[in-house]
């Protein structure tokens, strides 16, 4: 903890930024101290990203500082002349953005891209000939934890994984040897184990170089594990600024308390009633899905012989990182993909080789909640039509009956009835997710596949969705396959867990048992990468970065 | 709000709509607007320069050029609209089917389109008109040979990417059959580039109709048709008789311009809509 009251590196005094209408940032007072890692937490639309852009002096088009100032070591940054400002951006303050792949130039080798930053911001005495720039780029890549940096430096961004690309962006940020790093949701969308590794590196390098870091995130777990102090943002204001340890124990503001409560796991569900007497509703044996790649003799083994079963009223969580084949497995169950091998038995009937027309009547009993809510809803159709469509599977209905059923469904997922008349594009991500859930429940199915129902949602929305699914599980006695990489929601929702890795199920068992005594190394690694907000739940995250 | 109103008042859109309105007035009210019959030859008045009686002069048969231009709007736009409508009616469903089912049949259809499109338009036009006769409908069929593959290709390309989108899988889970997926879920999402292309195609159709008539593979005299009028005036151009070819030429220019401007605006609207969708 570096709480010593030194002169702040960056200070914001009553910073107010607007885009013509209501201010997006409203009187922000903030001090970033030397060598401090400062977390900024808030939900979508809180103004976190605008804050980072304002500090960098690069507001999005239309944005304007309406009041207040930004001080770098006591000097206002708008007093800098053009060359100083150019040195300031990237040289003294560097931004690490979300979605590294989109930030990198797709037609330049990543080593050269780091080289560009080195040329622009290298120390005056630094040599700028090809060789030494290259060497320094490679050294930076090694520093952020890229294996075989000499070879990787010649790669183009599309040849890198998301985590690797994010490391390149961090290397680019470090290249200018800045004093302040602004990390704007830098690990969003990365797998948990990769996220832990990337953050670990970022924090380690920053501590080593004595940098101040503004870590912007919506994940309280990240703040809890890496930050010294934090600020909670809401609607362009800072509602609370506090030491992390004090905040976790005693959040002062009501909104902060809500956030913390929402981020905590719900109490575990009752273990499922012993179901030996009842046959499983879904029974999968040696499910295999191989994709042929044109021009390659080796198929992609997306799902490679997995077996599991789900009893009525039971929730099985399929956890694993991206690329483990979880979603593919779910799609095979619903006959959206034609599996290469293995049997799928639903309610005693083998559906593996059923033709679509024969299977369609069964669809009312098996539904799926799709991963990305926006792309899973036809943008041209109104919510009413989207919800009414599956009703045709149940029985013929009059228009009035359909209307009533749509209203019931919207009420069941806590959406306003007026939502029926708008198109998905006008809904928030949380509302879209609810529409997706309502659509899957329209036919009162007995088995539902939830594909990542909680990803890409704000903390409180995620908690609401979890509560919603919990409520539906008990009220409808729903059997569910819950596909996710969010371990927190697994604790809250699943009776049993199956851990999937590279197309295979490594181990499965009762949720509690898996979380408390995992047998496989991979499971342990997965659990260790989680950044829980409660210290006692798990080992510190550092174990995850050992790899 | 400020941005929305300014996008409606764009000069391109206004000029395009104004020119289109002029053409529609000409189509509907041609008999009342035109002072003379468009097909009545009057050899005594041949090749008169523009004057107070014949506002835009007369051609070598003594027909009033202004009246012919007005009536020709009917012929040229009818051909343009008919060709594009027919091409849409055939090309769009074919594109959806070929994109959705792919397979051997689809491949054969696409190769057939390649085959048709590999002929130069005018060669194809001359051959077809020679077979079918110099009728308005022959010209429409020639244009359809050109536009059906074009629309089918555009739709197919959209369908190929749309069919892999998650909302299609979601629709299948909701019990939609192939027909519903193709025409209720995919097609509405595939129409934007088609709509943009419609306006361009009408302009192209008008230009090609005029071109075909100019080389004698289109509409026959004395039917009023812009390309034909330009063609009959072309020989007199070097004699200093400029009005016979110039005015129908200008009519072609303004007509094509109006559809080109409107397609630009349609493209702009489509882009804005797409950006708005992508913003989420």
Which of the four pLDDT bands, split at 50, 70 and 90, describes residue B3?
very low
A108-152 per-position pLDDT tens digit: 999 999 998 888 876 655 667 888 888 889 998 988 888 888 888
Q: Which pLDDT does position A430 carry in this prediction? A: 83
Chain B residues closer than 8 Å to A364 by CB: 175
- Supply the pLDDT for residue A269: 66
Q: Do B177 and A360 lie within an 8 Å CB cutoff?
A: yes
Q: Is ipTM beyond 0.90?
A: no
Tell whether the model's pLDDT for residue A316 goes beyond 90.
yes
pLDDT band at A471 (very low <50, low <70, confident <90, very high): confident
Residue B126 or residue B83, greater confidence? B83
Instruction: Please provide the average confidence, as pLDDT, over all residues in chain B.
Output: 88
Quick check: A268 pLDDT over 80?
no
Backbone angles phi, psi at A306, to 5 degrees: -110, 150
The answer to whether A407 faces chain B, any CB pair under 8 Å, is no
Residues B42 and B222: beta-carbon distance below 8 Å: no
pLDDT exceeds 50 at position A180: yes
Closest Cα of chain B to A108: distance in Å? Answer: 26
Q: With 70 as the cut, is the pLDDT of residue B222 above it?
A: yes
Highest mean pLDDT among A134-138, A320-324, B85-89: B85-89
Task: Report the pLDDT value the prediction gives residue B103, as an integer from 0 to 100.
Answer: 85
Chain B residues close to A436, C-beta within 8 Å: 170
What domains can be seen in chain B, in order of their start residue?
27-34+41-46+54-273 (1.10.3720.10)
Rounded (to 5) percent helix, strand, coil in chain A? 40, 25, 35
Tell me the pLDDT tens digit for each residue of B153-179: 999 999 999 998 889 999 999 988 999
Provide mean pLDDT across the span A231-242: 91
Boundaries of every domain in chain A = 282-529
* pLDDT value of position A125: 59
Selected residue of B170, B183, B270, B280 to mutate for chain A interface (largest A Cβ count, 10 A)? B170
pLDDT at site B253: 94
| pLDDT recorded at residue A270 | 63
Residue A359, pLDDT > 60, answer yes
| Structure confidence at residue A82 (pLDDT) | 82
What is the overall mean pLDDT for chain A? 85
3-state secondary structure of A543: helix
Instruction: Check residues B4 and A144 and name the one with the higher pLDDT.
Output: A144
Cα separations (Å) of A49 from A17, A185, B227?
A: 12, 9, 60
Residue A542 has pLDDT above 50, yes or no: no
The pair of three-digit structure tokens given for residue A324, joined into one six-digit string: 């483990």
Q: Which of B173, B177, B189 sits opposite A380 (nearest CB)?
A: B189
Q: Are strands A496-501 and A504-510 parallel, antiparallel or unpaired?
A: antiparallel
Q: Which of the pair, A198 or B246, is modelled with greater confidence?
A: B246
* Residues in Cβ contact with A216 at an 8 Å cutoff, skipping those fewer than 6 apart: A39, A40, A48, A49, A51, A52, A182, A183, A184, A185
Q: Give the chain B residue whose CA is nearest to the CA of A332.
A: B169
Kind plus residue range of the DSSP H or E element containing A72 = strand A64-72
Residues A389, B171: C-beta atoms closer than 8 Å = yes
pLDDT, average across residues A301-321: 91
Model's pTM, two decimal places?
Answer: 0.80
User: What homologous superfamily is domain A282-529 in, according to CATH?
Assistant: P-loop containing nucleotide triphosphate hydrolases (3.40.50.300)
What's the pLDDT at A274? 52
Q: Which of A128-132, A234-238, A303-307, B28-32 has the lowest mean pLDDT?
A: A128-132
Residue B221 has pLDDT above 70, yes or no: yes
Could you read off the pLDDT of A384-440 as tens digits, one per residue? 999 999 998 888 888 899 999 999 999 888 888 999 999 988 888 888 888 999 999
pLDDT band at A44 (very low <50, low <70, confident <90, very high): confident
Chain A CB within 8 Å of residue B166 CB: yes
Count other C-beta atoms under 10 Å from residue A534's C-beta.
13
Determine the pLDDT at residue A545: 38
pLDDT of residue A2: 45
Instruction: Give residue A276's pLDDT.
Output: 57
Given a cut of 60, is residue B279 above it in pLDDT?
A: no
> Hey, how many other C-beta atoms are within 10 angstroms of the C-beta on A404?
12
């Amino acid at each position: 903890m570096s709480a010593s009251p030194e002169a702040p590196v960056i200070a914001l005094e009553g910073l107010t930024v607007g885009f013509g209408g209501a201010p997006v940032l409203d009187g922000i007072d903030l001090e970033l101290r030397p060598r401090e890692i400062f977390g900024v937490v808030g939900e979508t639309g809180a103004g976190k990203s605008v804050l980072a852009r304002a500090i960098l002096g690069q507001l999005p088009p239309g944005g304007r500082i309406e009041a207040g100032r930004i001080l770098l070591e006591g000097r206002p940054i708008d007093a800098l002349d053009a060359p100083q400002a150019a040195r300031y951006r990237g040289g003294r303050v560097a931004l690490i953005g979300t979605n590294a792949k989109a930030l990198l130039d797709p037609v330049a080798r990543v080593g050269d891209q780091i080289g560009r930053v080195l040329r622009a911001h290298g120390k005056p005495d630094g040599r700028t000939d090809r060789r030494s720039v290259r060497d320094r780029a490679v050294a930076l890549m090694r520093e952020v934890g890229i294996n075989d940096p000499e070879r990787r430096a010649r790669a183009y961004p599309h040849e890198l994984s998301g985590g690797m690309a994010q490391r390149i962006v961090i290397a680019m940020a470090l290249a200018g040897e800045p004093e302040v790093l602004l990390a704007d949701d830098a690990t969003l969308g990365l797998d948990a184990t990769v996220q832990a590794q990337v953050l670990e590196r970022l924090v380690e390098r920053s501590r080593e170089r004595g940098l101040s870091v503004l870590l912007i995130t919506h994940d309280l777990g990240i703040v809890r594990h890496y930050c010294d102090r934090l600020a909670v943002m809401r609607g362009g204001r800072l509602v609370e600024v506090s030491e992390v340890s004090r905040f976790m124990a005693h959040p002062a503001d009501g909104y902060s308390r809500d956030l913390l409560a929402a981020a905590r796991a719900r109490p575990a569900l009752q273990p499922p009633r012993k179901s030996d007497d009842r046959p499983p509703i879904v029974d999968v044996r040696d499910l295999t899905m191989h994709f042929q790649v044109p021009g390659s003799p080796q198929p992609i083994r997306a799902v490679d012989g997995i077996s599991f079963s789900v009893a009525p009223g039971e929730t099985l969580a399929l956890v694993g990182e991206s690329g483990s084949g979880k979603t593919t497995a779910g799609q095979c169950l619903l006959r959206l993909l034609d599996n290469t091998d293995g049997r799928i038995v639903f309610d005693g009937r083998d559906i593996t080789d059923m033709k679509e027309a024969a299977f369609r009547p069964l669809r009312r009993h098996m539904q799926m909640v799709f991963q990305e809510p926006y792309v899973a809803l036809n943008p041209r159709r109104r919510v009413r039509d989207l919800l009414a469509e599956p009703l045709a599977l149940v029985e013929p209905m009059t228009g009035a009956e359909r209307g009533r059923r749509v209203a019931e469904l919207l009420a069941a997922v806590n959406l306003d009835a007026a939502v029926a008349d708008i198109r998905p594009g006008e809904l928030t991500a949380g509302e879209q997710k609810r529409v997706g859930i309502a659509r899957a429940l329209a036919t009162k199915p007995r088995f539902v596949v939830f594909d990542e129902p909680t990803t890409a949602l704000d903390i409180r929305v995620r908690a609401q969705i979890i509560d919603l699914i919990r409520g539906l599980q008990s009220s409808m006695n729903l059997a569910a396959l819950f596909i996710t990489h969010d371990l927190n929601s697994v604790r809250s929702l699943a009776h049993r867990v199956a851990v999937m890795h590279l197309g295979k199920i490594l181990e499965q068992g009762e949720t509690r048992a898996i979380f408390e005594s995992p047998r496989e190394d991979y499971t342990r690694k997965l659990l260790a990468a989680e950044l829980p907000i409660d210290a006692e739940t798990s080992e510190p995250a550092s174990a995850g970065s050992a790899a | 709000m400020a941005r929305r109103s300014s996008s409606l008042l764009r000069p391109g859109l206004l000029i395009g709509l104004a020119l289109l309105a002029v053409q529609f007035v000409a189509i509907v009210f041609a008999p009342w607007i035109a002072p003379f019959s468009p097909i009545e030859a009057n050899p005594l008045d041949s090749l008169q320069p523009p004057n107070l009686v014949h506002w835009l002069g007369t051609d070598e048969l003594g027909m009033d050029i202004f009246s012919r231009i007005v009536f020709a709007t009917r012929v040229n736009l009818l051909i343009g609209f008919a060709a594009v409508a027919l091409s849409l009616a055939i090309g769009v469903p074919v594109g959806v089917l070929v994109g959705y089912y792919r397979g051997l049949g689809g491949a054969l259809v696409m190769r057939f389109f390649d085959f048709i499109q590999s002929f130069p338009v005018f060669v194809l036009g001359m051959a077809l008109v020679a077979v079918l006769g110099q009728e308005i409908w022959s010209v429409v069929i020639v244009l359809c040979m050109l536009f059906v593959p074009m629309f089918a290709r555009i739709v197919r390309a959209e369908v190929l990417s749309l069919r892999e989108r998650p909302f299609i899988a979601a629709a299948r889970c909701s019990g939609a059959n192939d027909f519903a997926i193709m025409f209720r879920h995919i097609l509405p999402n595939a129409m934007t580039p088609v709509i943009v292309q419609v306006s361009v195609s009408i302009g192209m159709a008008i230009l090609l109709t005029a071109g075909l008539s100019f080389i004698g593979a289109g509409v026959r005299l004395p039917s009023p048709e812009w390309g034909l009028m330009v063609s009959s005036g072309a020989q007199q151009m070097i004699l200093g008789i400029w009005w016979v070819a110039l005015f129908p030429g200008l009519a072609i220019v303004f007509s094509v311009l109006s559809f080109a401007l409107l397609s630009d605006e349609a493209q702009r609207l489509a882009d804005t809509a797409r950006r708005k969708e992508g913003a989420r």
